[in-house]
Amino acid sequence: MIDRIVRSSPTRRVIELAVGLSRRGATLSADPTFDYIEIDVPHVIAHKRRLLERSAAGRVVLARPNLQLVAGDVLVDALPARTPAVVVAEGLAMYLAGDARRALFARVRALGDVELVFDLTPASDEPPPGAIGRALERAMKRFTGGQAFERDARTRDDVVAELGAAGFADARAIAARDVARDWQLPFADRATPVVIFVARATRS
């Protein structure tokens, strides 16, 4: 879903926050019209560079002038003020408490002419936690050192309101189950609770 939104945007500069080992930058930067900036904490960026350097194909990716790997904490360090840009935050907002999430929205909005795209499934869209869900949460806590998903984003409207308060004039939620067939998503027959938010703002 995020790839589709990024590809359909008229903006060809992408800033991906807390990128981890996402393949999106390597994939999209194969198109020289994209200017792609990946940001994550230093040890993650260093690990990603080492992985790419292991193969000839990876070294080709690293050599692209339109792909930058930037070491930094997206919650603290200055974000690249290179706009207009699509700012992607996949798998980040779900770990942030409300105050941190709203602070991130404000930091991105301050960049100016931006389109923010991120995933966050509000509590109202979550299925009731069954045995499997509780087991997955326990496993995630072990993996993250005790950190679990934040659940203070109660509804889609709550998150849209937070984006509006941060200064985004246009914000909307897109649920996977509502677009699965039209967007030809994998496993379209399953009631996937994924929700993507898209918010736009222009320089004041």
Q: Which two tokens stand for residue 1?
A: 């879903």
Query: 111-135: per-residue pLDDT in tens?
Result: 999 999 999 998 877 776 655 555 6
Domain boundaries, the chain: 2-18+74-201
Per this entry, what is the length of the chain? 204
CATH superfamily of 2-18+74-201: Vaccinia Virus protein VP39 (3.40.50.150)
CB–CB of 26/67 below 8 Å?
yes
Residue 170 per-residue DSSP state:
E
Which residues, given as ranges, of the chain have pLDDT below 50? none
pLDDT for position 49: 97
pLDDT at 124: 79
Contact predicate 151/96, CB 8 Å: no
Give the pLDDT confidence score for residue 53 in this predicted structure: 97
> By the 8 A CB rule, do 6 and 37 touch?
no
Given a contact cutoff of 8 angstroms between Cβ atoms, the answer to whether 139 and 131 are in contact is no
pTM: 0.86
